[in-house]
Structure 1
């Protein structure tokens, strides 16, 4: 005869933490590199984002614990009862942070408790850029706990599936247009490429000079990128590529490679060198180096739908933005109504 023991429910503890130091104490190593495989899911990434980009902005981090399972949802408080993800233009994927092995049902419960706790602090919250699955989970949890959740497209995200492929096998799958372009440019332009697996101050200075003289707008925080490069160099994940022509640097790319994924974070070339295609030639060198030496299963080309990415990648994915309105707050209701009115007005024809 089998005895039926009553199920003991773990008590749920929910708080709002105002510093990453408090998160570190609460997490007890659960958000460290050795535990979290994703760059954006770690405390050191949040530390860089906080210290370099939003040093003076208050934080409101929902921390929920149920037994050995826990969740942290890092929010920055922009004032006027509005919160935003503790993220930036450098963050390619924002997500709720869980302890390892937290099951889907428990995740949903923890998210629901976070949504209830955040009602006391915010009238509106914007979360981005979210993977579709994370956006859906957050939308369900917040919508079930007093929030209006509006999900919308935020950005395209291109990836290449490279499991088991060296560079030659990968290159064979690319369109002939790209392969022919690289072959012609390599014959016509004498470009030397170098890939640094460790931080090098001179190489980084060249990277900054290229970016400053490129077609791209002024970088938001070159100090953030340098700190990230130094951090990832120490961890062995940095891949910094430079292309040189006639003795001067003309193109640069900043990658990281870790846990089977290679990520292209930032790239630039001198606009004056466009006819020599140094960016394309450097891309070929970077893909060759990473595929032959690191053998990743996936290569991510960051967020953005630039046409050239499709030539190198296999699949277009998407990132989402979630706009949350607290329906138990007059401010939240007012902002939700204003958003709905503007949306309706935008769809209304000018003339009838």
Structure 2
């Protein structure tokens, strides 16, 4: 229980760090009217890196409900911890969003005034500045199904890549963290247009709730007839993450069986070469037919001893494949 308490706070603080840096980058993009979302992408990418450095040794730095559930589906995370992690991630996202708003609220208000999005008679903040915190459809032509498909594909690829980097490449922890940050950077740049590269349900829902309390009201839930926030922001990332994890589960088994199959033949060849080497060395030391016959019998006995070793290697291979991911 004590360790679970630590994991809760690690996930909470890690997600808060992610959101604070990510929203700060998004604020730079929106408030300066930058033509590209590079500041936002770098903000979330380095948010992941810093959050992972902090929370990784304690909780594994999931900082994403979709990743937590996907890992549990394939047996890489305990189901009993899932509610604790999810609560921590959503609270952390809310806190990080609130901290970011406390830093930029004057700039946000000034931006809306300067651009005519509100005035003294209209005090409602604009949906333009809401985009600093939440994701929205690209335009009126974006429909629900392409937006859902966008998030399923992008989140599935993200989770598959994270699992592969962590499990298959034996990458040092710090390099894993940096590589994951680069993945986030790439995915935000590549999948930003349709619906803002959500990839993380906590990253979108918690700040949406915050905005509804500070003047934006129900407008933040209106896109696509009130379907965007839950279908695209929650269901699609979770579905994509589970698909990516299951895809990795079976691809890893296939890859492992292929690699281990090659290793078996290598081990078998090494055993045969070693047996031949012993046979030749013993033959050169013999001086008469009696000793040669004795060596022949010894060689047969040695060959019989080697055969179980080959069978043992094959059995080890089958055991490893059959027990993969069952731990």
- Does the pair score TM above 0.5? no
Normalising by the residue count of structure 2, what TM-score does the alignment of the two structures yield?
Answer: 0.23
- Pick the structure with more strand per residue: 1
Query: Larger C-alpha radius of gyration, 1 or 2?
Result: 2
Normalized per residue, the structure richer in helix is 2
